[in-house]
Amino acid sequence: MADKSADSPVRIIGSRELHQNLPAILRELERSDVRYVLTVHGKPRAVLIGAEPFLELTQQHKGPSEALVGLQLSALLGGELSAMPLDDLEKALDSKGK
């Protein structure tokens, strides 16, 4: 499967391998410590992270864009809007994107 060391939760994976092993990779991405670096022709193109770990990251960064993604992802994961801090909701709805 993907290239990884025993000490690192980061895996390097090519686009072909991603396509062939998508179900297993998605299961692995449920773990909060797993990351995949997706390469195309050996060059990094994207970092894959699970939805819940990504939500945790967006809650640490409080910009409007991150707040909006966090709000949307919370809703998709079945989270409660009342669990989100009011200032995060305000930032997500900030049309000026300050």
Q: With b meaning 16 or more CB within 10 Å and e meaning fewer, what string describes 18-54?
A: beeeeeebeebbeeeebbbebbeeeeeeeebbbebbb
Pairing of strands 10-14, 35-40: parallel
**45 and 27 in a common domain:** yes
In a domain, 60, yes or no: yes
In a domain, 78, yes or no: yes
**18 and 29 in a common domain:** yes
**41 and 57 in a common domain:** no
In a domain, 69, yes or no: yes
In a domain, 5, yes or no: no
Domain count of the chain? 2
Residue predicted with more confidence, 93 or 46: 46
Query: Which uninterrupted H or E stretch holds 44?
Result: strand 43-49
Q: Is the pLDDT of residue 2 over 70?
A: no
Q: Is the pLDDT of residue 28 over 70?
A: yes
CA dist., res. 40 & res. 15, Å (int): 6
What pLDDT, on the 0 to 100 scale, is given for residue 92? Answer: 61
Residue predicted with more confidence, 21 or 79: 21
In a domain, 2, yes or no: no
| pLDDT tens digit sequence for 60-91 | 766 767 667 777 677 767 766 566 666 666 66
Give the whole-number percent of the chain exceeding pLDDT 70: 59
Structural domain that includes position 88: 52-92
Q: Is the pLDDT of residue 7 over 70?
A: no
What pLDDT, on the 0 to 100 scale, is given for residue 32? Answer: 85
Q: What is the CATH number of the domain that holds 27?
A: 3.40.1620
Neighbours of 56 (CB within 10 A): 13
